[in-house]
Structure 1
């Protein structure tokens, strides 16, 4: 029987989770408020062009993630996971406050767009470091036989942050007029996220360290050659390509598509998206625990292959009717949950401790930049030229490639992480 973790580990799991929640709140608010940001901080002469420019800045934030991942991945080995998780929280909060305070395009012209780009680059670097450290941290402090269940806490936090961001926008659109939303309402969530970071920093100050010096961890595990490091890194990259593309398609792109292409009422779209994300969050710990019994390989393949099979019928059913978004996004998100419910455990079990944050920091962050950061932009652009079906083909191909990688995974479910070779 697995021994229970000390109460300090449970508190550390909570502190990590609350921080993850707030980081993803700050990160997701940008997406769900993109229609308002486009009108406030870009030239409004062409509505679709300003929206695409807003989504391009969103993508730029993702391309800063590999830099953050590389820098903070190395820091996590030298200074510990805890130091990184404190630093990234502070960076994300500062950038959110900057976005909340940027004057409009009408007031300062192109400087508004430039300031937004700078803030998103800072957020992207922080996000890369947070993801790199938190995946490893939670897996390392978890009981080996319940690693999937504990790992579900990461994406419960991620999903809760995204959900609260969506709910916040749904609430604001319900109580404020369209003109108030455009003038100042969209700024409120960014300001709130930045200010709440003070509480999260207080929570994280006493987190336990999962690995005192990961670079010195040797035991009996043989070091990897540069060739093997690159080969395993490419596997992580292709796995993450499938994981992140399917995630962003169903978490954020679906609602944007419903509003900007199908012209669904914004309040209705945000509300339906909130309900779908609640179902997804409830499913995550169940799926995480299931992975402790049947293995991470099986649950991951259920997700990737399931999404590849269902993307065309689900995306095609979205119309102006709110219930269509609810049904499609709920099914899509539950399938996504078969990856995210145990993702930190799944990837940590494929990489030795001494290389874990380094490989996560570069290859996972790079895949998120290329495939997650461009998902909303690519799908919206293709829809604007009546080629939305091409995005679905793209997703199917990437999901199937990722499935091939997962088929060749080692079965390290429940194995002590220090014994991973």
Structure 2
């Protein structure tokens, strides 16, 4: 195997401080991840405007559902990207993938920014949007696959949970900035201006800022190398074990991603479309809730270094299962209701995302990590994350919204059962996992 770096996860032990190159690589990875998630999330928070611009708007509900269907299609491209880039990350290293996916995401965002309206080119506008989202989905699958493994591998074992929180701090910050961008635009632009061109601005900005992220990532260290202990010491897993552990990852990710997208994106869309909350107020309340979430992430990540990932993950999944009905039913047209419910929901989400890269990396040996992440994690995100907003909007549009909450509870409980089978590898060097 042709890995590219002098250092690996085995070189950073629980008893030594990480070298400066690892700190710089953590920052570069996180800032690039932030921009990727900004590009990815801005689609959802701008979906109401995209529906009017790039779809037939004679039926507003139909055009919104069409926009969310394209959102879901982007998710279904993620497994392909995860599989391809997961293999590349295993062969050429994580750094090569993190650079490539940044380029693809920037290209797709700039394409969305310049697509002519439905009124100008008809259904070709919807088709171009679909193509751009498929490219974004493939890039996003590769980025997620590599970044989860990368941050966990360069982290000191004793602080792996804390370092892993950086991934979702950047994810949350990207989502927050996207939401804030839309909130600011809706405050300063008229509804007509937003519909005509305002929604395109964040896509263009995200695409151009990717150049800065590429510059930061150019000198990142590689997290694995050719004489990695995991490549030499441990016997290969049989196919049955690969499938069994992969299915555990799939089930875990089903619960993780469904609960995440329910509270990060679906709540604000529901408040605007179903409860008729003012869009500016909804985006503002969502921004505040996401700031609270970001503050909670490193605290919970560090907590997991002491309690283990299993406990914090179960708090998240079971806590959301218990609270989803009362919190969702509290949302009304009053802005404060979205602030309260989304804040509580997101803090519960933080108990799983605060240490997620560490949690899943500790269950898979180095030789299989990105390959299993690339397929099983991406597939679960496609099926359960990509459809969350669509299912939520559709069920509430036909007055069956409570079924979505039941669905979430069932998935979260099944995911909890998978988590109960985890080994406790908290603090164990990742090269020693077999």
> TM (normalized to structure 1)?
0.99
Question: Within 5 Å, which residues of 2 pair with 1:268-347?
Answer: 268-347=281-360
Segments of 5+ residues of structure 1 without an aligned counterpart are none
Name the structure 1 match of 2:426.
413
CA deviation map 1:379-419 (0-9, x unaligned): 00000000000000000000000000001100000000001
2:364 corresponding residue in structure 1: 351
User: Could you tell me which of 367, 373, 383 is aligned with 2:396?
Assistant: 383
- Which stretches in structure 2 are left out of the alignment for 5+ residues? 1-13
For residues 4 and 350 of structure 1, what CA distance do their matches in structure 2 show? 24
User: Partner residue of 2:101?
Assistant: 88
For residues 214 and 163 of structure 1, do their structure 2 counterparts lie closer, same or farther at Cα, with a shift above 3 Å needed? Answer: farther
Query: Matches of 2:324 and 2:433 in 1, distance apart?
Result: 35
- 1:178 and 1:310, CA in 2 relative to 1: closer, same or farther beyond 3 A? same
Question: Equivalent residues in 2 for 1:257-272 (5 A)?
Answer: 257-272=270-285
The structure 2 residue matched to 1:233, chosen from 243, 246, 267, is 246
2:203 to 184, 190, 211: 190
Counterpart of 1:38 (choices 46, 51, 57) is 51
- Residue 2 of structure 1 and its aligned partner are, at CA, apart by 2.4
Instruction: Say if 2:172 is the partner of 1:159.
Output: yes
What is the CA-CA distance between 1:215 and the residue it aligns to?
8.9
CA drift of 1:219 comes to 3.5
Pairwise mapping of residues 36-75 of structure 1 onto structure 2 (< 5 A)? 36-75=49-88
Equivalent-residue separation in structure 2 for 1:215 and 1:253 (angstroms): 42
1:216 positional shift: 8.5
Partner residue of 1:201 out of 214, 221, 234: 214
Q: Residue by residue, what CA displacement relative to the aligned partner does 1:183-203 show, whole Å, maximum 9, x if unpaired? A: 000000000000000000000
The alignment partner of 1:386 has SS state of coil
Instruction: Give the superposition deviation at 1:212.
Output: 2.2
Tell me what 2:378 maps to: 365
Q: Deviations over 1:357-387 (max 9, x none)?
A: 0000000000000000000000000000000
Are the structure 2 counterparts of residues 418 and 41 from structure 1 closer, same or farther at C-alpha, using a change threshold of 3 Å?
Answer: same
1:104 corresponds to which residue? 117
Give distance in 2, aligned partners of 1:174 and 1:166: 12
Deviations 1:82-123 (A, max 9, x none): 000000000000000000000000000000000000000000
CA separation of 1:350 and 1:214: change in aligned 2, threshold 3 A: farther
Corresponding residue of 2:8: none
Deviation at 1:221, TM superposition (A): 1.9
Contact 2:150 2:223 in 1 (8 A): yes
Partners of 1:219 and 1:226 in 2: CA distance: 19
CA contact (8 A) 1:32 1:165 kept: yes
Would the alpha carbon gap of residues 251 and 376 (structure 1) be closer, same or farther in structure 2, given more than 3 Å must change? Answer: same
Which whole-Å CA distance do the structure 2 matches of 1:232 and 1:35 have between them?
39
Separation in 1, partners of 2:124, 2:225: 44
Q: Give the Cα separation in 2 of the matches to 1:225 and 1:253.
A: 40
Is the Cα contact below 8 Å between 1:78 and 1:215 reproduced in 2? Answer: no
| Residue 21 of structure 1: aligned partner | 34
Q: For the residues of structure 2 that align with 1:345 and 1:351, how far apart are their CA atoms?
A: 10
Do the aligned partners of 2:229 and 2:432 also contact (CA within 8 Å) in 1?
A: no
Shift of the 132–158 alpha-carbon distance from structure 1 to 2, 3 Å rule, reads same
Contact 1:215–1:354, Cα closer than 8 Å, also in 2: no
> Any conservation in 2 of the 1:77–1:215 contact (CA below 8 Å)?
no
Alignment of 1:395-406 (within 5 A): 395-406=408-419
8 Å CA contact retained: 2:32, 2:213:
yes
Does structure 1 conserve the Cα–Cα contact (< 8 Å) formed by 2:229 and 2:431? no
Q: 1:204 to 1:391 in 2, by over 3 A?
A: same
Report the secondary structure of 2:231's partner residue: coil
CA contact (8 A) 2:51 2:64 kept: yes
Q: Structure 1 residue 234: deviation in Å? A: 0.3
Classify the secondary structure of the residue corresponding to 1:264.
Answer: coil
Which whole-Å CA distance do the structure 2 matches of 1:301 and 1:217 have between them? 29
1:249 aligns with 2:262: yes
Secondary structure, aligned partner of 1:253: helix
State the shift of 1:223 in Å. Answer: 1.0
